[in-house]
Chains A and B, each alone.
Chain A
Amino acid sequence: MDQRPPDHITAAPSLAAKPPIVTLDGVSKAYANGTVALRDVNLSIGRAQFVSLLGPSGCGKSTLLRLIAGLGDLTGGRIDWPGSAKASDGTPKRDLGFVFQEPTLMPWANVFDNVYLPLKLGRLSRKQARPRIMDALAMVGLEKFERSYPRELSGGMKMRVSIARALITRPSVLLMDEPFAALDEITRFRLNDDLLRLWAGRDWTVIFVTHSVYESVYLSNRIVVMGARPGRITADLAIDAPYPRSEAFRMIPAYNEYCRMVSAELHATMGEASPE
């Protein structure tokens, strides 16, 4: 903790104690058209953290997530993966799962083949991959749709296929960009619980972009609030409620307290008075 740069916004001690899996140092990103999407972002994310990125539309959440995944070049600063093995060309070998804000499915391939893609690239045969794919599809409730084409699915179903595809490689870091935004509340709650169960079962990291204060509090043990123009981190909050969390968690006073706190931070970021 003491090795961090002084301007680093530190999370609560219980989280900071975990060894960092990825660190961002003064990360900036300007797009070719001159938009400064991110300015001087410092962030250190530890193993086994469930981090939510929360912020108004256009504040650079997607940009940040893509940069962490190594998609697109930084305009300034650096991103390090301290513990990761290096590939032969020196770039860190990260096993990431990524859920894009759009479903990003191959329209010419059915659901099964879309989920199979990462394993296919890993040279696993279709037959070997089958049980894993069916498990992943069952988890998102789509086991009956393995032969359907993306155009035959609803927006939410497409998103669930995309989630199944991200989980299929059992990544150690899962990056998700508003994965549940298109879903109804019941499915959303169910997938929230499924995600938490998966996360609890293994020592992995989730970085989760969302617009929903409630969702971020329910899921994460850390919430990073971002502000817009230019995109930057304005608050870094720990949610110190124990796991496993379930529906009952939504009923306890602490949950409401956290929601109020996060909501106040978000309003402060957006330059408005808190509604209370």
Chain B
Amino acid sequence: MSTSAEPVAQRADRRLIALRIALPILVGVVFLGTWQILVTWLQVPKFVLPAPSLIATAFVDDFASLMGSLWFTLTVTVEAFILAVVGGVALAVLFSQSEIVATALFPYAVILQVTPVVSIAPLIIIWVGYDNVRVALLILAWIVAFFPVLSNTTLGLRSTDHNLRNLMQLYGASRWRILTEVQFPSALPYLLAGMKISGGLSLIGAVVAEFVAGSGASTGLAWRIIEAGNRLDIPRMFAALALLSVLGIAIFGVLSAFEYLMLRHWHESAVRREN
């Protein structure tokens, strides 16, 4: 019985995965095709809306400089993200161990979170100095990105099964042991959900901060967009924009895959239900 049920389920699975990849691609192709046809047909000027083919040409022409910018933005984003995860988790652990520290500091974390990054960016850039814009971008992206990790992990550490914690106490486990053996694994799904939000925010933070920094001091994708805008080189602007979207999707994809890998054995969100 199970021998015949298994392959059917697997086949259905594979078809589902294929569909999940094929369907968005199909939508994209249809969209680009319609765009190309409409722009050509209506003779839309290229400084208003360039045809996809023009954008592709711009992409090829400027490949080296765009890739350099992509690399810059990517590294700032990834570094800010890693610091956000490390900082967010460390703070959450600290908060979970001491109610006093949590009560004292949490409001400031919230303040940092609700202050629009655009409004503090100039200040941070001035403090860090114009010759250090990359560091300023890192700080700003971190400020935007760390809060989801902090708040999700804090919630996760608190929602450990009460009896499980009691069980650990019964066996005389230290606080550290309780944290590592049961609290942290219980918090993992929450942390991973926070990381997915945080990954997108790191990119947004890195880009927005670069917009504010303006000038040619930085060389990320945001700067490519400003530069192209100033020169009314719209195809190039679109090429940079497309790269940004791809980067955002890639970050989300990698983090989703990571989440699935970590939770696939046990968590409701990742386990395929059979009823």
Contact = CB atoms under 8 A, between A and B. Distances in A.
Interface of A: 66, 69-71, 96, 98, 100, 102, 104, 106-110, 117-118, 120-122, 149-151, 169
Most central of A104, A121, A150 by chain B CB within 10 Å? A121
Contacts of B14: none
Most central of A118, A122, A150 by chain B CB within 10 Å? A118
A209 B167 CA distance: 18
Interface in B242-275: 265-267, 271
Contacts of B166: 66, 71, 98, 100
Contacts of A71: 166, 169-170
Nearest to B167: A104
Interface of B: 161, 163-164, 166-173, 177, 181-182, 185-186, 188, 265-267, 271
Nearest to A103: B163
Contacts of A102: 163
A225 B62 CA distance: 84
Given A117-B181, A121-B173, A108 B164 contact: no
B167 to A, nearest CB: 6
Nearest to A91: B172
Given A98-B166, A121-B172, 16 more contacts: A66-B166, A69-B170, A71-B170, A98-B167, A102-B163, A106-B182, A106-B185, A107-B266, A108-B185, A108-B186, A108-B188, A120-B181, A121-B168, A121-B171, A121-B177, A150-B266
Contacts of A66: 166
Contacts of B171: 117-118, 121-122, 169
A104 B170 contact: no
Contacts of A150: 266
B194 to A, nearest CB: 18
Contacts of A149: 265-266
Contacts of B186: 108
Contacts of A121: 168, 171-173, 177, 181
A169 B181 CA distance: 18
A110 B188 CA distance: 17
A118 B171 CA distance: 7
Contacts of A106: 164, 182, 185
